[in-house]
Structure 1
């Protein structure tokens, strides 16, 4: 089963778009969706959502995966606020969601973005939770900025090459080739996009997930993710930077029992870089553990916080 075939099966959030006459067509994959651009050398100011808790404990910060956004963890965040009293932040990575676009998409750059955000918010320490690409960003942050991390949760990814999943380039190609009429209702635009994605993206849940990135602006439709940057850095995203140092803090690697992203071959590298790591698997969960088994996912995090 391909990487994104094990995705959350949710619909796209509705955005009301008026229906007008004389629709024009545009190339969605290369359209000029207006978003803040960032210089290639400096951190970007990430967009985020805050779910305020009444407790004084260290806040939790969630980082999403490739093609995802901060909304992926909203329901999880709300539950954790209720059950722990902690403040929870969900964050859009650069080139994703509503965060600025940049031609650079490396884990080192994304870790610097997070450092910049925590400094802006005057958060001295956090419990960092990262899924997939966000998990690799979380690991790099822990290995390079350990003083910022109280505890680390890495969700269904390891510090190893993610080389067995090769469908991402076809997903990018499919998204770049989509053309949609302008000034049409969002529901119609979404159907048009899904019809065009179908030839290269056979799995419906994958298409639904990719379509969460379809946005409307001034009657035109575009992908909010920076496909050019993702394509240019895909090999880097699938790999993991080389480090000689370790993160000694409490760490949980939480895998899906039905996923292939963490294997026993990865254990030596996990234990080498994260010597205090505990590796657990949630039964009947795929790569998207928090979507498949949200209650088990939340319980695992709460247990880890109390360990």
Structure 2
């Protein structure tokens, strides 16, 4: 699949950094961070399948999403790159490291572990399945509808970025059905065919709870050259909540 992507070019660098967003996300979520990191690398942000402006498909798996990234790298003529993934994107880049370790210089996984998680997005799926956004004349009306299931304005704004203006009301950018069908697999524990010895950094928000100390011990059994850095005063959206601290940690690892 040919993924929609954006390149933040740096003519003075030969290094590439690919960034993959999380569930219900899109490459725009990483614009500010990509722009900053492009002072040091050629940065490529990606809309994953069934998200943003990338093609829709009924087929969705971590293997397919990893192969999508490999196809994009081949299309751009990039043999090897740094790869960063947040949340769902973090699981994709871990699978990418399992399938294509030769394509990675260094790996960064943001606030996700390869373990099984309890469902945490049920209300979002219910909202997207039940709210008729075609009847919302303004984004404010859509926000009011979402507010019934999500009180956090920041999260609502993140979700509302997935609305496209239509002739009548709004439509969803993402392909809800296949994403919802994939969700049980997405939150399940991952299996790897190899021990992964690539230099790997796991960044987590200290207020998030997505990665625990027990998780770190388990992760290190598979990712044998891994390190873990917590960002204080940050939850799951580490890069958005503490951008300067996040940028500093990424650069210290990659440079």
Distance, in Å, in 2 between the alignment partners of 1:111 and 1:207 is 28
TM-score normalized by the length of structure 1:
0.80
Following superposition, the deviation at residue 219 of structure 1 comes to: 4.4
Q: 1:303 to 1:174 in 2, by over 3 A?
A: same
User: Which residue number corresponds to residue 132 of structure 2?
Assistant: 179
Distance, in Å, in 2 between the alignment partners of 1:247 and 1:262 is 19
Distance, in Å, in 2 between the alignment partners of 1:299 and 1:204 is 27
Query: Which of 161, 169, 174 in structure 1 is aligned with 2:116?
Result: 161
Query: Which of 174, 181, 187 in structure 2 is aligned with 1:225?
Result: 174
- 4+ residue segments displaced more than 4 Å: none
Following superposition, the deviation at residue 216 of structure 1 comes to: 1.5
Q: Does 1:261 align with 2:210?
A: yes
Following superposition, the deviation at residue 180 of structure 1 comes to: 3.8
Query: Which of 157, 160, 163 in structure 2 is aligned with 1:214?
Result: 163
SS in structure 1 opposite 2:95?
helix
- 1:173-192 Cα distance to aligned partner (Å, 9 max, x none): 1112122456x8xxx42122
SS in structure 2 opposite 1:268?
helix
Distance, in Å, in 2 between the alignment partners of 1:104 and 1:201 is 29
RMSD across aligned positions (CA): 1.5
Following superposition, the deviation at residue 220 of structure 1 comes to: 4.6
Distance, in Å, in 2 between the alignment partners of 1:228 and 1:212 is 18
User: Which residue number corresponds to residue 47 of structure 1?
Assistant: 4
Distance, in Å, in 1 between the alignment partners of 2:115 and 2:133 is 38
User: Which residue number corresponds to residue 101 of structure 1?
Assistant: 56
Aligned pairs (5 A) from 1:276-291:
276-291=225-240
Distance, in Å, in 1 between the alignment partners of 2:38 and 2:154 is 29
Following superposition, the deviation at residue 124 of structure 1 comes to: 0.2
SS in structure 1 opposite 2:50?
coil
Distance, in Å, in 2 between the alignment partners of 1:79 and 1:110 is 26
- 1:63-86 Cα distance to aligned partner (Å, 9 max, x none): 00000000111111111112x1x1
Choose between structure 1 and 2 for higher RCO, CA contacts under 8 A separated by at least 6 residues. Answer: 1
User: Which residue number corresponds to residue 139 of structure 2?
Assistant: 190
TM-score normalized by the length of structure 2:
0.95
Distance, in Å, in 2 between the alignment partners of 1:203 and 1:56 is 39
Following superposition, the deviation at residue 270 of structure 1 comes to: 1.2
Query: Which of 44, 59, 66 in structure 1 is aligned with 2:16?
Result: 59
- 1:265-299 Cα distance to aligned partner (Å, 9 max, x none): 21232111110001110111111111011111111
Q: Does 1:170 align with 2:119?
A: no
* 1:58/1:150 contact within 8 Å kept: no
What are the ranges of 5 or more consecutive residues in structure 2 without an aligned counterpart? none
Q: 1:180 to 1:145 in 2, by over 3 A?
A: closer
* 2:201/2:253 contact within 8 Å kept: yes
* 1:251/1:274 contact within 8 Å kept: yes
* 1:45/1:99 contact within 8 Å kept: yes
Q: Does 1:123 align with 2:78?
A: yes
Query: Which of 26, 33, 43 in structure 2 is aligned with 1:69?
Result: 26
SS in structure 2 opposite 1:254?
strand
SS in structure 1 opposite 2:93?
helix
Distance, in Å, in 2 between the alignment partners of 1:192 and 1:227 is 21
Higher-helix-fraction structure: 2
SS in structure 2 opposite 1:205?
helix
